[in-house]
Amino acid sequence: MIKIYHNPRCGKSREGLSILEQSQQKFEIVKYLETPPTRVELEKIIELLGIKPIELIRIKESVWIEHFKGKNLSDSEVIDAMITYPILMERPIVIKNNLAVLGRPPQKILEFLQLG
């Protein structure tokens, strides 16, 4: 099953959702601002993406600037920040068959879906 972590207010996320809809594959939408991932889920997403937690942060987001900018945070503290403020997560994230892609730009989702 394909899963997209989606923010309806984000243009890139809406583009990513449109790509999934056009693929005619079954998928689940997770509106992560309404239903934030747990620590375990977030750690798994980061692992599947093959990135450091800080690479999933929207560093231009006002919450980041106000609360965290310039601080030397551990990976665990960065994950805590995303759990507390899910708006900090880059989006959209698409997961399929224990693989994941960050849909920035959204065309990465199209390439990802073609992998299998």
Q: Which two tokens stand for residue 95?
A: 């997961």
Check which CATH number belongs to the domain holding 70 and give it: 3.40.30.10
Q: How many domains does the chain have?
A: 1
Query: Which residues are known to be catalytic?
Result: 10
Q: What is the pLDDT of residue 115?
A: 78
DSSP state of 99: E
Alpha-carbon gap, residue 74 to 76, rounded angstroms: 5
40-98 pLDDT, tens digit per residue, is 999 999 999 999 999 999 999 999 999 999 999 999 999 999 999 999 999 999 999 99
Residues 37, 19, 62: CA angle, nearest 5 degrees: 45
Domain span at residue 20 reads: 2-114
pTM over the 0.75 mark: yes
SS3 110: helix
Tokens of 69: 């900018």
The arithmetic mean of pLDDT across residues 25-39, rounded, is 96
